Structure 1
Amino acid sequence: SIKGLGPIFVAAILAGAGDLRQYAHGRQLLRKAGLNLAESMSGKRKGQIVISKRGDSTLRKYLFLATIQLIGINPVFRELHEKN
């Protein structure tokens, strides 16, 4: 259990992600949610780097809400957020 992360968030994340043992790295889960970085470019034009948003929008929403909750309640996550 993680202080500040309730059963609703855990259930929603597991429902969207499935079995977490299928992911070798955490970035694979972020890619499934559409939170990986992608560069917007076309031909000669080079654009800015944005999140791809090509994934499960519900999973992305609950990962975001869980992160905001953890930053607000858990001092370890708050410290990590302030450093980054």
Structure 2
Amino acid sequence: GDLHRYDHGRQLLRRAGLNLAECTSGKFKGQMKLSKRGDSTLRKYLYLGMLSLVRHHPDFKRWHEQNQKKGMAKQASVFKLIGK
């Protein structure tokens, strides 16, 4: 759809289910994970688009490498970059 419907980029991330939510159950309490309550197709295409940017765009490649040097997992770094 039209991206002008969203006032802020976080609204788009929330629609895709890429916002953080607290997960609690009997085994663990208070861990922050992706909510995954949004549009799975939108989430898939944002993820695939970011993978392409990480491979080919020098700025995104550099940010991804910096995140990994700080100890962040590869997939966590990709989801952080989606937020950018």
TM-score normalised by L of structure 2 = 0.70
Which residue in 2 is equivalent to 1:53? 36
Q: How does 1:1-84 map to 2 (within 5 A)?
A: 18-41=1-24, 46-84=29-67
Instruction: Output the aligned Cα RMSD.
Output: 1.7
**Alignment gaps of 5+ in structure 1:** 1-17
Give the distance between the partners of 1:56 and 1:37, measured in 2 at CA: 15
Moved over 3 A (4+): none
Give the distance between the partners of 1:66 and 1:83, measured in 2 at CA: 19
Give the distance between the partners of 1:42 and 1:80, measured in 2 at CA: 34
| 1:60 shift after superposition | 0.3
Describe the SS at the equivalent of 1:68. helix
Percent identity, aligned pairs only, is 64
Give the distance between the partners of 1:21 and 1:80, measured in 2 at CA: 27
| 1:80 shift after superposition | 1.9
TM-score normalised by L of structure 1 = 0.70
Aligned residues between the structures = 66
**Alignment gaps of 5+ in structure 2:** 68-84
Normalized per residue, which structure has more strand? 1
Name which structure has the greater RCO, CA cutoff 8 Å, separation 6+: 1
| 1:46 shift after superposition | 2.3
